[in-house]
Chains A and B, each alone.
Chain A
Amino acid sequence: MTEYETVVGLEVHCELSTATKLFCGCRNAFGDEPNTNICPVCLGLPGSLPVINRRAVELALRIGRALNCSARRSIFHRKNYFYPDMPKDYQISQYDEPINVDGWLELPDGSRVGVERAHMEEDTGKTTHVGGGGRIHEAGYSLVDYNRAGVPLVEIVSRPDIRSAGQAKAYVDELRSILVATGASDGRMEEGSLRVDANVSVRPMGSVEFGTRCEVKNLNSLRSLERAIEYEVERQIALIEAGERVAQETRHFDEGDNSTHSMRSKEEANDYRYFPEPDLTPLVPDAGLLAAAAEGVGPMPAERRHRLSELISSSSELATRRDGSTDQVVTVVDLGLDELVHGAVVAGADPRLALARAANEAAANPEAARQLAPKVFADLLKMEASGQLSATQSKEVLAQLMDKGGDPAKIAKRLGYEQMDSSALGAMVDDVIAAHPQEWQRYRDGDDKVAQFLSGQVMKASRGQANGKLVAEAFASRRES
């Protein structure tokens, strides 16, 4: 039974968050009344000419930088084909001299996916199909709105390094975080500012050559992306196992039944007749453009994850732990709470505890958590670490802090979380020992597992007020004596 490897490359188009379009001063906005953001240039009227938007170039360079690409001298090319949503019936794009090349993207699990290029191009208008089943070739006619025509896009093409549907999803997720972090795009798949096409092929495990790939379009969500890849892989394997060839073609993902269908085949492949755009000048990433691209951009998610992980693992007691802290790091960075954790540690909090409370508790209300002052967070964490507050109590104080603000010590006092004095604690421990002689005996004989039961009884009796650490110590010291 042959084992097959999934091979996926992704082409992601993202709309840039510029105020105006790529080649003219019309507004770059989603959702406006049809054909209200048009001018001779973006409508491709006879005699019109394009002029490149500087901000779009800066953002494109920013994206390239965030994806570890090299920025190059680039030119625009015309990609010639007829389609009603294209006002000039050619698209101004980049071909063999694109602005960003040879980068990579690091996923949260540490794996890397290569980025072949991230180039600039203009978006097309939007076509609505009327009549028929809504599928394009069943429609009676179509209506075109050119508001989107000319909006700046960056097309990010990955290398075929992706090996599973899950990894594809992680790639798009991470890419989206990066795009948002750079401020270059708001990356919304549902609004169409992020569009994904997948190139899927399979090959026998261990094979070096690539199998025939199919391009899958109409992926409007991450879920669709995963399902489409899964379906394609199965479909292609079935064909190969049956001795048939996989046809190189473009397929359309059907959200209704999670399958892909071959699109109406064209009689011949598209010949785009690329040639250098004579109406535009080459782009050289000079010092000014590069500086503007770097300006005001913080660290990318991967770097933030690294920094946070280093913080945790440099705390010596954790170096050998495998305790799900990786997941916590991902969550904390994803929610934008890493600065909070760093700040708390600087103010003296225990790193692991800060991470855990941020990932588990503060995550419940990320917006409020982002407002929390690191020092205040640190104060609370110190109270917990010292045994002044139990874990349960600490979580409650944190919830109150996020809800209403204030001072941890005052909140603790108001909630009655006084530290239980040691004699009251000792009395509780003795009570439990008296009430559970058999368990106490087992514990004395060396059975550590029963300690949890015993401690649990004290916690129950104290209604969670007792400090778990101190309770455990009390039992341990009684066992010694």
Chain B
Amino acid sequence: MSASPAPEFGSLAEIAASVRTGATSARAILAQSLDRVRELEGDLHCFNEVTIEHAEADADAVDRMVRSGRDPGPLAGVPVALKDNLCTEGIPTTCSSKILAGWLPPYDATVVSRLREAGAVAVGKTNLDEFAMGSSTENSAFGPTKNPWDTGRVPGGSSGGSAAAVASGMVPLSFGSDTGGSIRQPAALCGIVGVKPTYGVVSRYGLIAFASSLDQIGPFTTTVADAALALEVIAGHDPMDSTSLDRPAPDMLSTLTDGVSGLRVGIVDDFLTDGSESSDAVVLAAAALALAGAKVDHVKIPDLLLGLPAYYLIAPAEASSNLSRYDGVRYGLRVDGPDTETMNSRTRGQGFGPEVKRRIMMGTYALSAGYYDAYYGQAQKARTLVIRAFDAAYKNFDVLLTPTTPTVAFPFGSKVDDPIEMYMCDLCSIPSSLAGHPAVSVPFALSSEGLPIGVQVLAPALGEAVMMRVAASLETAAAREARGPVTP
């Protein structure tokens, strides 16, 4: 599938400008979005819930503000889709799990509030792997999402619905969450831009937790500039999140088009495989940066390979604890029993899918008496080694390049029965998650089958500006046909 004309929205800045000046109405933009949703949603299943009435009300509010001479904000009228693990007050938030089916949060996530304050119009809640655990969105309790480039293939995960919504032209902006690659990998598989910010730059308050020391919220867009704008809107300190950094949002836009002259770019050899088209794309990308004036070199950082096994101990451990609260007592599914303990077990046994159960058990085991030191304890030390390895590399480089993920979009069912194969999708994205560093996937090339390949740019903590600058440069060299939106 190559890019064929999908109705384009224009850039986020353009949408907002035309709404703010009254040249277009938020309702009109919303209508364009909803038309596209109606056209394709039946096939693609990007959404768990399309919130038409709420969206129309929000759009009306934006238009009213404009008419009364007030500024609705930098994302005025922009239709957005929200991953269904972001709490939205009064709107079902399910994490694509039976255990939370129909749950109505009594509050909005901080990011959701900030988007509304910026004038964005939420169109609906998108599908994901259950509780954000997966790399294909096949683990959703409500059925998978299809990749707009080839509907026999996965869009990636866990934020598959959000990625497909942008990649199919339903919305120009969506949000996902990234714990080990859950924004970047679907972005790569869907030919769009996806950013994971530095840990702590975006508030997690209202993001339903998977792994607390790794989770971050980030945007999906069709361009790097749009992603920078969106990230600037949602980022910045939140007193409701103790792990949120006490600083304002990073400024990426000012230096976005400064070019890469003199920047030192490192190709991480440990993530390249001979003969892999994803690896080839990275080499091509590096060459493009060199042409643009960057100093490019290869670098070996073997300790980064500790990332995958460390992650698959740390993330499940934290998740096993974060998911304990789903016990049938206060909200969500309850499967009855003669006593509370039995009720808990039946509820969770039936309410969680197999991947979630697998990870809960893995995590419980890794933390359990007698095993803590060998597994969780060791994994947290391996994490230190990953951080030290990055720190050493960043003494000599400003950014690093890797494939975003080892493969292109794979057919449904091809990995879902082999958890380890599925986990390998995160090989290149996990190390930066463990370190808390920012990372971005930029659609760069098409595979020989015509499927998008993403290149990942990594930067040190709080290096969003230089990272997006490099990403913007890559984007200008990228194959235009490798980038969505597309029509399935």
Contact = CB atoms under 8 A, between A and B. Distances in A.
A279 to B, nearest CB: 5
B340 A45 contact: no
A84 B86 CA distance: 25
Interface string B192-220: 00000000000011111100110000000
Contacts of A88: 324-325
Interface size class of B (residues with CB under 8 A): 35 or more
Contacts of A437: none
B323 to A, nearest CB: 9
B321 A78 contact: yes
Contact of B321 (A46, A275, A280): A275
A82 B344 contact: yes
Interface stretch (B119-127, B157-165, B238-246, B423-431): B238-246
A89 interface: yes
Interface in A420-477: none
A48 interface: yes
A273 B364 contact: yes
B395 interface: no
Q: Which of B93, B325, B327, B341 has the most CB of A within 10 A?
A: B325
A46 B325 contact: yes
A270 B6 CA distance: 58
Given A89-B324, A279-B212, A273 B340 contact: no
Interface in A307-361: none
B488 interface: no
Contact of B243 (A48, A84, A144, A281): A281
A40 interface: yes
B468 to A, nearest CB: 27
B324 A82 contact: yes
Contacts of B344: 82
A275 B242 contact: no
Interface string B311-341: 0000001101100110101110000000011
Contact of B208 (A46, A80, A82, A144): A46
A279 B242 contact: yes
Interface stretch (B40-48, B247-255, B368-376, B384-392): B368-376
Main secondary structure of the interface of A (DSSP, over half): loop
Contact of B106 (A45, A90, A273): A45
A44 interface: yes
B296 interface: no
A40 B239 contact: no
Contacts of B242: 49-52, 279-281
Contacts of B329: 84, 144
Given A46-B208, A275-B372, A89 B327 contact: yes
A273 B368 CA distance: 5
A51 B321 CA distance: 18
Contacts of B87: 45-47
A100 B369 CA distance: 25
Contact of A278 (B208, B213, B369): B213
A43 interface: yes
A279 B242 CA distance: 6
Contacts of A273: 321, 364, 367-369, 372
A43 B332 CA distance: 14
Nearest to B203: A49
B324 A45 contact: no
Contacts of A84: 327, 329, 340
B379 to A, nearest CB: 11
A51 B364 contact: no
A90 B321 contact: yes
Interface in A123-167: 142, 144
B159 to A, nearest CB: 16
B259 interface: no
A87 interface: yes
B100 interface: yes
Interface in A52-106: 52, 78, 80, 82, 84, 87-90
Nearest to B340: A84
A339 to B, nearest CB: 43
B105 A47 contact: yes
B105 A45 contact: yes
Contact of A279 (B100, B243, B320, B330): B243
A384 B329 CA distance: 70
B205 A48 contact: yes
A78 B100 CA distance: 23
A278 B318 contact: yes
A271 interface: yes
B207 A47 contact: yes
Interface in B345-384: 364, 367-369, 372, 376
A89 B325 CA distance: 5
B205 A49 contact: yes
Nearest to B213: A278
Interface in A266-285: 271, 273-275, 278-281
Q: Which of A46, A51, A89, A271 has the most CB of B within 10 A?
A: A46
A82 B213 contact: no
Contacts of B369: 271, 273
B461 to A, nearest CB: 16
A48 B239 CA distance: 12
Contacts of A47: 85-87, 105, 109, 205-209
Contacts of A90: 321, 324
Interface of A: 40, 43-52, 78, 80, 82, 84, 87-90, 142, 144, 271, 273-275, 278-281
15 contacts: A40-B106, A45-B107, A45-B331, A46-B325, A47-B85, A47-B86, A47-B207, A80-B320, A80-B321, A89-B325, A273-B321, A273-B367, A275-B376, A278-B212, A278-B243
Given A46-B103, A46-B105, 5 more contacts: A47-B85, A47-B205, A49-B240, A275-B317, A275-B372
Closest 3 CB pairs of A and B: A89-B324, A273-B367, A278-B212
